[in-house]
A and B are shown apart, each in its own frame.
Chain A
């Protein structure tokens, strides 16, 4: 029944919707390491690529069910992420960014030369036969990622990441193991990138190592910078706008990249923290409702 419903929707519109869903998954993934932990990664497309090829190869060679496949490709990517992250996350700032950039190029070149990834020809991936139609799966995954990100952000784990972002020396002095948390954050972040890549491969039906170049990494980074680094609504919003923009601006044909570029420049000039950066939605809602924050009230009532 759901299949019928999805089939009745304009496929062009559906395609944009799926792009948005995948964009959200990828942006939220990058947001964990760059927005929350403050470690700039310019090579996230490589992890998307690892997830895409892992998923495609699993489907082609082993025929594992798609849902399992989705989780597995995420886990494989997270394992690669942790392995790479362990040595390179000792670097900070620009050095880390350049290192991730280099890693992404290596992944691309390796995949372009491996038989299992079919070299430069790329892989054709059959559409998975699932009870739920692909677009619905993509949106469900996006929603799960939003929930997981929110949970992470407001937990002991997430607070440790934010502490590392704000001041590493102070974080260490509070008993937070910086190396361990950075690697864990990177693993979570690359897990999401891997899942996003797997969805991408199965929805598009064809992947090529060259699809996951530097521009794809920059795309992901633009999404979270546009929305506001570290903000989950920002990442969702940024992913939505930037995934839809190339299609919405299509009528301008070759001028659309010009407009796109100009948009980014204006944004950075007038709202350098991103569209939703620094906006705390919980606080906004509470204030609108006239509710006092929970902890503050407790502190006043119970006199210690």
Chain B
């Protein structure tokens, strides 16, 4: 059974159909990529999955349960972590605090916990969350910057911090929205290995990406989106040879 399943997912913004009847399955343990030209609706699909927008039509199920129309915090709590195309860190806070917020769903002490901060059960939980946060930071090689302010990190590190924050949810599925955007080739290579490591730690990866070389080298399977419609789906070499994909990217009449 697929971990994530989009069944005829559709969203309309007024007259614009941003995502049109997309069927998509992400299998447990794979690295799946979603590609397509600018404005194809890739990020919108991520926003549908994470509940930022409810689908106008169609269903979305995660782990066999329908999540369409649920609020974002419930979906996140169910085990879907994500990053954002235009980085959305908590800029005023430290790197560590950012990741601790990612670990929010892993704790349960609330206001009472805050006021009874010194009691052992609350302290144990804080210690556990701190350990988890440091572990996630280590995974993206940022533990040494734990006490820096998030907005002071260089761009590439901010992208990695977003991944660490998403990992702190301890998700079954992580959605990466253009993780390699704006990175140099060396940073991209590091990121590639990082994503592979995340997968081998048991997290299913679903990513949106523009960089073809990055996607081809990393993904098990690729889906292609054009004008909100899925035009291809398959292994990287299949997708690369697909005429519809070539047309979407290069225009009609082009040869490769």
Contact = CB atoms under 8 A, between A and B. Distances in A.
Contacts of B135: 304
Given A151-B117, A170-B84, A176 B73 contact: yes
A167 B114 contact: no
Contacts of A293: 146-147
B155 interface: no
B143 A296 contact: yes
B89 A170 contact: yes
Interface string A157-198: 111101101110111111111100000100010000000000
A295 B134 contact: yes
B134 A298 contact: yes
A177 B90 contact: no
Contact of A159 (B100, B115, B146): B100
B104 A160 contact: yes
A299 interface: yes
Interface stretch (B30-38, B105-113, B187-195): B105-113
B171 to A, nearest CB: 10
Nearest to A150: B117
A295 B146 contact: yes
A283 interface: yes
Most interface-central of B77, B88, B104, B144 (chain A CB within 10 A):
B104
Interface residues of A, number: 38
Most interface-central of B96, B111, B115 (chain A CB within 10 A):
B111
Given A176-B73, A295-B146, A152 B115 contact: yes
B84 A172 contact: no
B42 interface: no
Contacts of A159: 93, 97, 100-101, 104
B88 A295 contact: no
A300 B76 contact: no
A283 B147 contact: yes
A129 interface: no
A156 interface: yes
A253 interface: no
Interface string A282-299: 010000000001011011
A156 B105 contact: no
Given A175-B73, A295-B147, A170 B90 contact: yes
Interface of A: 148, 151-152, 154-160, 162-163, 165-167, 169-178, 184, 188, 230, 283, 293, 295-296, 298-300, 302-304
- A-B pairs, top 5 by smallest CB distance, nearest first, are A299-B143, A155-B114, A175-B105, A175-B76, A166-B90
